[in-house]
Chains A and B, each alone.
Chain A
Amino acid sequence: MSDAHAAAGPHLAGSAHAAFRLLGQDVTGRGKEYSQDSHLAFLAAGGRAAVLTVADGHGAAAHFRSDLGARWAAEEFAACARRFVAGALSGEEPPGWPVRREMARDLPRRLVHGWRLRVARHEASSPAHGRAGEAPAFDAYGSTLLGVVLTRELLVCWQLGDGDITLVWNEGPPEAPLYAGQDLGDETESLCQPEAWLRARMHWRPLTGKGPPPAVLLSTDGLSKSFEDHDGFLGFARGVRDRVESEGRAQVQDKLAGWLGHAATHSGDDTTLVGAIPVPLERTTERPE
C-alpha cells in the first residue's frame, strides 16, 4: 500500500436488522500528512435506510482548513439525512411522494446553511487569517459533498462538486446518475462558494417494483481519476459488487485499503469509498457479517 494511510472503523455503523451492508474506507494520498477526505456510512430508521456520504476537502494552499470543512460537510449531511429519513420515510403515515421530493430538494440548502454556520462559529474563535472581526474565510474550508439515502423503496443522491456516485445493477453497465463528464483540470464546485446549494445536483428515484441496486458506491474523484478511462472505473464498481457477492462484505472491506492505496499512488490524491449493498429480503432478520 506504499505510504498511504487507511482509515475505516468508527465511520461505519451497522444494525442487527439491517436492510443493507455497508463498506467504507479512506486512504491518505502518498506523501501527505493527513487525509482531507471525510466519510460516514450508517443505517437509519431501524436499519431500513442506509445513509452514505463522502466529502473531499480541496487541499490546496488556499483551502488549508479543508480537512475540517470536509468533516463538517459529512457531519452536516448526516444530520440532514437523519431529518429527511425521520420526516419523509418514517412514522406511521409518511408523506406522499411529492412532499418527500420537495423535502429532498430542500436538503442542499439546509446542508449548506449548517456547514456555513459551523465554519462561521469556528472562524469567530479561530480566524483562518488571524484577523478577528472579518467575514468568515469560507474558502479556507472548501470541500465537495456526495450523499445518498437509500431504502428498498427510494434512492436519493445529492452531489456538490466532483466525485462519483455509481449504481451497480444486475443487468447492464453500472450507472452514474449525476455524472456530468470529466472536470477538466480538476476544477470543482464547492461548498465554500456563494449560494452553493444552487450548484447541488439531485437524483430522485422511487424504486417501487424494481428494488434497490445491488450496490450503491460513493467515491472521491481520486479513485476514478486513477483509472486510464471511465470504463475502467465503472468496471471497478462492478467488481466491488461482484466480490461482495462472491467473497462477502468483510473480505472486501479488508481489501479496500489496499485497493484504494494502490489507486492513490496513481492519482496522488486522498481516496475514499463508501457503499451500501442490499441484504436479500429473506436474510434481513439475520445478524450481519
Chain B
Amino acid sequence: MSDIPGGPMASRPLHFIWLLDCSGSMGINGKITQLNYAIREAIPEMRKAADDNPGAELLVRAVTFSSGASWHLAAPTAIQDFTWEDVYAHSTTDLGAALRLTSEALKTPPMPGRALRPVLALVSDGLPTDDWRSGLRDIDATPWGKRAVRVAIGIGEDADREMLKEFLANPEQEPLRVKNPKQLVAAIRWASTVAVATASTPAVEGDKQLATPMDRTPTITAGASDDDVW
C-alpha cells in the first residue's frame, strides 16, 4: 500500500539465541550427535512458528561453550535462511563465558529498541566449570537480558538442575529434563516454538514470563521403546 503516509513499516525482530554445552561429556552416549539432530529437526517447526507470528522476524544465533565460549552462528540469521552446522564436544563447561558473550549481544545497541523480547535457550548436561554466576549477572544487567524469555534443558542425571533453575529466574518455571534422544527432540522442538510464541505476546510489567505457557510443556515420559540412556 504505497499511499500510506509516514515512514517504512517492518516486522519486529525476535532474536533467538541457543546456548549449547559442547563440553567433553556431551560426547558420551551420543548426546552431541542427538543435539545436532534435534536442532536440525526443529527448524521446520521454528519456520512454522514464525509464520504463525507475522509480526515477528525470527532471527537465530548460537553460542557454544566448552573451554571458553564462541559464536557458532554469530550473525542473526532469518529462520528461512537458517541451516544447522554440527557442533562438536570437547573439554570443559565454561557457561559463564557463554553468558558474558551473550550479554554483549543483548545491549542496546546492537539490539534495536523495537525488538520483541529475545529468547535464550540453554542446553547443558553437566556442572559449569567457571564462574557462571557472574556471567548470569552480566545478562541480568542488560535491558534485554532481564526481559528475555528463557528456557533451559538439562540432559541426563548429571545436569545441574539448580544452575538451570537459577538461569530461568522464575520460581514457577522448571527446567526440562531429558533422558533419551526422543525426549531431547521433543524438548528442543518445544523450546523452539512455544518460546517464540511467548516472546510475541505482551507482558504486564512485573509478570514472570512463561509462567502460563509452561502449562504446555511437552509430556516427557519413558516408555518401553524410550529407554533412558543419559
Interface residues of A (CB under 8 A from B): 29-31, 58-63, 139, 142, 181-182, 184-190, 192-193, 225-229, 231-240, 242-243, 255, 258-259, 262-263, 265-269
Q: By the criterion CB–CB under 8 Å, are B204 and A188 in contact? A: yes
Q: By the criterion CB–CB under 8 Å, are B205 and A190 in contact? A: yes
User: Which residues of chain B from 160 to 194 have a CB within 8 Å of any chain A CB?
Assistant: none
What does DSSP make chain A's interface, helix, strand, loop or mixed? helix
In the complex, A238 Cα to B212 Cα: how many Å? 40
In the complex, A255 Cα to B1 Cα: how many Å? 11
On chain B, the number of residues with a Cβ less than 8 Å from chain A's Cβ atoms is 36
8 more CB-based (< 8 A) A-B contacts, given A193-B205, A266-B55: A184-B147, A187-B204, A187-B205, A233-B7, A236-B6, A237-B6, A265-B54, A268-B200
CB distance from A91 to the nearest CB of B (A): 40
Q: By the criterion CB–CB under 8 Å, are B144 and A185 in contact? A: yes
CB distance from A256 to the nearest CB of B (A): 10
- The 28 listed contacts between A and B (C-beta, < 8 Å) are A29-B55, A31-B54, A58-B204, A60-B203, A184-B108, A184-B115, A185-B116, A185-B203, A186-B117, A187-B203, A187-B204, A188-B202, A188-B203, A225-B12, A227-B6, A229-B7, A229-B114, A233-B6, A234-B6, A235-B5, A235-B6, A236-B6, A237-B6, A259-B5, A266-B11, A267-B55, A268-B11, A268-B55
Would you call B224 an interface residue if the criterion is a C-beta within 8 Å of the partner chain's C-beta atoms?
no
CB distance from A273 to the nearest CB of B (A): 12
What does DSSP make chain B's interface, helix, strand, loop or mixed? loop
Would you call B110 an interface residue if the criterion is a C-beta within 8 Å of the partner chain's C-beta atoms?
no
The answer, among A188, A193, A238, A268, for a CB contact under 8 Å with B5, is: A238
Among B9, B117, B206, B207, max chain A CB count under 10 A is at B9
Q: Using known A-B contacts A182-B114, A184-B143, determine if residue A232 contacts B204 with beta carbons closer than 8 Å.
A: no
Q: By the criterion CB–CB under 8 Å, are A60 and B1 in contact? A: no
Among B12, B114, B212, max chain A CB count under 10 A is at B114
In the complex, A49 Cα to B11 Cα: how many Å? 37
Nearest residue (CB) in A for B3 is: A255
Q: Using known A-B contacts A185-B116, A255-B3, A259-B4, determine if residue A266 contacts B203 with beta carbons closer than 8 Å.
A: no
Return chain B residues, CB-CB under 8 Å to A186: 116-117, 201-203
In the complex, A257 Cα to B12 Cα: how many Å? 21
Would you call B75 an interface residue if the criterion is a C-beta within 8 Å of the partner chain's C-beta atoms?
no
Return chain B residues, CB-CB under 8 Å to A265: 54-55
Would you call B109 an interface residue if the criterion is a C-beta within 8 Å of the partner chain's C-beta atoms?
no
Nearest residue (CB) in B for A266 is: B9
CB distance from B149 to the nearest CB of A (A): 9
In the complex, A45 Cα to B116 Cα: how many Å? 43
CB distance from B207 to the nearest CB of A (A): 7
CB distance from B50 to the nearest CB of A (A): 11
In the complex, A262 Cα to B203 Cα: how many Å? 24
Return chain A residues, CB-CB under 8 Å to B226: none
Return chain B residues, CB-CB under 8 Å to A182: 113-114
Among B5, B117, B206, max chain A CB count under 10 A is at B5
In the complex, A192 Cα to B203 Cα: how many Å? 12
Return chain A residues, CB-CB under 8 Å to B205: 187-190, 193
Return chain A residues, CB-CB under 8 Å to B49: none
The answer, among B8, B12, B147, for a CB contact under 8 Å with A267, is: B12
Nearest residue (CB) in B for A222 is: B55
Among A139, A227, A235, A262, max chain B CB count under 10 A is at A227
Closest 3 CB pairs of A and B: A239-B5, A232-B7, A268-B55
In the complex, A265 Cα to B115 Cα: how many Å? 16
In the complex, A268 Cα to B207 Cα: how many Å? 21
Would you call B157 an interface residue if the criterion is a C-beta within 8 Å of the partner chain's C-beta atoms?
no
Among A139, A142, A267, max chain B CB count under 10 A is at A267
Return chain B residues, CB-CB under 8 Å to A139: 204
Q: Using known A-B contacts A232-B8, A233-B7, A265-B54, determine if residue A61 contacts B212 with beta carbons closer than 8 Å.
A: yes
